[in-house]
């Protein structure tokens, strides 16, 4: 690499080039009992290990209280009971006694101080779970439909998701040496700089890379919002037979306020592949991005900008060249809806699964609602398989008929209802963590969202719309971790207690929403929404969804108003 080109690289790129093993000085800092945090450069390396350094922003006036968030790599969100029990114990021993389900079917541990950091990560590895590549400029946790009611097809898709996940894991030795063996990577500076990952190379990816699978007609993984998507195509004559996948590329959620060059985007169709070629295509898409993404500006570095600027035809040709075969034409398919199933449902094998609503994805105990204790006891007594959903909820799968009623009774003892767990408004909702731990947060999200939903439910009740199915999502900043730009109603933090309101996403999660109001105070959000909700009630056609009504009526009115003012 020439010195002139090297000088144009972003700081993160220079860090990766200087130490492609991703070891940094992490082992030395972990071994230092006097240190309560890691250095700025190591903050970037530690992300590749599935860890973020944070501090309690509620306490900043009295000095930074450093802590860490750890994220597991859980392909398809499948967690056997024994592993869940280990996760629960680690949260109590080293975290803040909660578990957080993510919008990518993973789990996070919050409030971990440096002295407990290695013990928690090693504990996860002892439970046969890794955190490598749960964050960082690599392929993140691979999503797949969690609902077991689709039987053999679901099992096949989850297996393919795991194959892709395994194929896209970086191979650096630093992770195992630091977190499992508890020692520094025994390489010289020259040896570290000479290391090159077989798939990712020396610099890894320009930014994060997200992959998801979907099984029509359900789009519960927001597959069009991902860098890489696989939409399962079943044989019409035999729904248990998987013919292959339509391949999507170039979706993404993040943007920056006031920067028109950054934007959310839905993925493009590339073509169709048979199941045996899924890993080859995944590697081809990833390496095409690796070699074409912007490494000078991290705000412009996601794969979506490559597709937007170079075009889908160019990218398809690049993928085909790297894969060594041509993609077949995209097969007809229809994704019509999203959403988890709640309550008890029978699986195709005769066993049962239970869908549980988890408010903002936070598994914890309160005086009247002891979800964390209940889930641990169910795992210990009945050993179901837990499946985390992309909407931050949880399924208990593979439950026998004889255990179904016992589990229902145990949950009731802990204040958890199985039927009528919440209204649709809450069941479809999602919020990011935001304050007080996320360093990017501009406004509240998880702590503010439940109260906002209370007020929205009240407003909808007054309109007689309380049972309507609405997709509502909130984030404390524009990075889009809860995928607010796909929602029918999205709230995106802009400043303390100020949010942008976005409206009009599709119920099938294939259409982005649009800005409706900017910088609205938190207490005024429902007031701003009430007029358009009233119009939806009075002017909708049949059972028209709110997002579709906004796209049909409100958007043209906005466009006309802009044209008049131009």
Q: Which amino acids are annotated catalytic?
A: 71, 140, 208, 210, 432, 438, 477, 481
Dihedral sign (CA 28, 32, 36, 39)? negative
Q: How is the beta sheet containing 228-235 ordered, strand by strand?
A: 211-214, 228-235, 238-249, 268-273
Closest CA to 184 of 23, 393, 376, 403: 23
Alpha-carbon distances, residue 111 vs 1, 67, 95, 117, 444 (angstroms): 41, 5, 5, 10, 18
The C-alpha atoms of residue 288 and residue 475 are separated, in whole angstroms, by 30
Match 């358009």 to its residue by tokens. 532
Cα separation, 65 vs 174, whole angstroms: 27
Residue 414: CB atoms within 10 A of its CB come to 17
**Structure token pair of residue 149:** 């009611």
436-473 burial, b at 16+ Cβ within 10 Å, e below that, comes to bbbeebbbbbbebbeebbeebbebbeeeebeebbbbbb
Which residues, including other chains, have CB under 8 Å from residue 528's CB and lie 6 or more apart? 501, 516, 517, 520
Residues 6+ apart with CB under 8 A from 292: 306, 310, 318
* 187 CB-contact burial (10 Å; exposed 0-12 / middle 13-18 / buried 19+): middle
* Sole residue written with tokens 């919002």: 225
Return the sign of the alpha-carbon dihedral for residues 460, 463, 464, 470.
negative
* CB-CB contact of 210 with 249 (8 Å): no
CA dist., res. 372 & res. 366, Å (int): 9
- Whether residue 90 contacts residue 123, with contact meaning beta carbons closer than 8 Å, is answered with yes
């Amino acid at each position: 690499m020439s010195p002139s080109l090297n000088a144009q690289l972003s700081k993160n790129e220079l860090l990766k080039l200087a130490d492609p093993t991703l070891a940094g000085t992490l082992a030395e800092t972990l071994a230092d009992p006097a240190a309560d945090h890691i250095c700025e450069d190591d903050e970037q390396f530690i992300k590749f290990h599935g860890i973020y350094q944070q501090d309690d922003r509620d306490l900043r006036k009295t000095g930074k209280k450093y802590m860490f968030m750890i994220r597991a790599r859980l392909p398809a969100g499948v967690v056997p009971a024994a592993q869940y029990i280990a996760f629960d114990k680690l949260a109590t021993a080293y975290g803040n006694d909660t578990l957080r389900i993510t919008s990518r079917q993973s789990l996070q541990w919050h409030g971990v101080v440096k002295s407990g950091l290695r013990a928690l990560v090693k504990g996860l590895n002892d439970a046969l779970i890794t955190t490598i590549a749960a964050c960082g400029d690599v392929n993140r946790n691979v999503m797949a439909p969690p609902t077991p009611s689709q039987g053999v097809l679901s099992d096949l898709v989850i297996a393919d998701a795991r194959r892709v996940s395994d194929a896209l894991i970086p191979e650096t030795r630093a992770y195992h040496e630091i977190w499992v063996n508890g020692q520094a990577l025994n390489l010289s500076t020259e040896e570290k700089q000479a290391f090159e990952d077989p798939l990712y190379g020396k610099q890894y990816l320009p930014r994060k890379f997200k992959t998801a699978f979907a099984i029509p007609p359900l789009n519960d993984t927001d597959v069009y919002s991902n860098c890489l998507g696989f939409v399962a195509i079943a044989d019409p004559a035999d729904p248990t037979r998987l013919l292959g996948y339509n391949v999507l590329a170039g979706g993404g959620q993040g943007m920056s306020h006031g920067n028109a060059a950054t934007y959310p985007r839905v993925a493009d169709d590339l073509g169709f592949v048979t199941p045996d070629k899924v890993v080859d295509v995944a590697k081809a898409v990833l390496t095409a991005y690796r070699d074409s993404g912007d490494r000078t500006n991290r705000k412009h570095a996601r794969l979506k900008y490559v597709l937007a600027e170079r075009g889908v035809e160019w990218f398809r040709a690049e993928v085909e060249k790297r894969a060594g075969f041509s993609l077949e034409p995209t097969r007809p398919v229809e994704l019509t809806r999203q959403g988890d199933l709640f309550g008890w449902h029978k699986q195709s094998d005769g066993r049962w699964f239970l869908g549980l609503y988890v408010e903002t994805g936070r598994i914890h105990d309160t005086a009247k609602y002891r979800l964390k204790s209940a889930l641990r006891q169910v795992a210990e007594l009945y050993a179901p398989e837990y499946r985390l959903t992309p909407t931050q909820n949880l399924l208990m799968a593979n439950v026998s008929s004889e255990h179904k009623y016992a589990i229902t009774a145990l949950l009731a003892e802990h204040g958890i209802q199985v039927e009528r767990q919440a209204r649709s408004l809450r069941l479809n909702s999602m919020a990011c963590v935001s304050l007080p731990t996320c360093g990017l947060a501009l406004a509240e999200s998880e702590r503010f969202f439940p109260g906002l939903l209370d007020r929205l439910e009240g407003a909808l009740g007054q309109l007689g719309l309380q049972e309507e199915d609405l997709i509502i999502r909130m984030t404390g900043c524009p990075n889009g971790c809860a995928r607010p730009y796909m929602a029918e109603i999205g709230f995106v933090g802009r400043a303390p207690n100020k949010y942008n309101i976005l409206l009009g996403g599709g119920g099938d999660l294939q259409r982005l929403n649009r800005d409706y109001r900017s910088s609205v105070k938190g207490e005024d959000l429902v007031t701003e929404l009430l007029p358009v909700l009233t119009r939806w009630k009075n002017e909708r056609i049949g059972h028209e969804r709110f997002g579709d009504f906004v796209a049909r009526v409100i958007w043209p009115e906005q466009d006309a108003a802009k044209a008049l003012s131009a």
